[in-house]
Amino acid sequence: MKTIGLIGGMSWESSTIYYELINKKVKQLLGGYHSAKSIMISVDFAEIEDLQGKNDWPALTKLMINAAKQLENAGADLIILCTNTMHLCSEEMIKNTTIPFLHIADATGNSIKSKGLQKLALLGTKFTMEKDFYKTILKKYGIDILIPEKNDREQIHQIIYEELVKGKIKNSSREIYKRIITDLKNKGAEGIILGCTEIPLLIKQDDVDIPIFNTTKIHAENAVEWALKD
């Protein structure tokens, strides 16, 4: 079993889910007393959130590169970044390390392609929904992306940062997300990408009537499959 390196803390609530999902997948595949070989570097999300608010992506990229190098130096065989938004920094992270990096959008794209779907709606932070770093990768898998209207994007983003990253789960916010998802379905979305690692804390498959793609679960389980390859 190879050692999975995780960059967590963005937020720690979703990072704990990564750790749980990874070990559950190892137990499912190997049974017995098996658990995952892993190393986690966890950052302070207050620093990340402050720099995001200032739109200081060079500083954010530097932090992510340093975390990736720490994992490499600690003996990780693979790097996964336990957040969607910070994949904005992934190109420079890959350039500055020598071990494989598993991009969350590649893992998600493969999962969607296996289901034969082509038109998906993307929910996430404003950065994930509005910038091209995520959508460009998904296009390689023949996937067309819809994003919510501006006011809906603002609501989605606000709920993530003011509630979900703080562990607050509100039924009223779930209803807002469900309304937005219904609107996207009516515009032709065949499925919904939960493109923020906190959104699955709020929205489950039972909440909607079209397929959802939980990027946290997809990414974590894909990392295990990689770690167990010969």
Query: Which residues are catalytic, by number?
Result: 83, 196
* Helix 171-186 and helix 150-162, axial crossing angle in degrees, nearest 10: 150
d(CA 73, CA 114): 35
Peptide bond just before 35 cis, omega within 30 deg? no
d(CA 228, CA 126): 35
- Give the CA distances from residue 142 to residues 91, 99, 106, 113, 193, in Å, rounded to whole numbers and listed in that order: 21, 27, 12, 8, 15
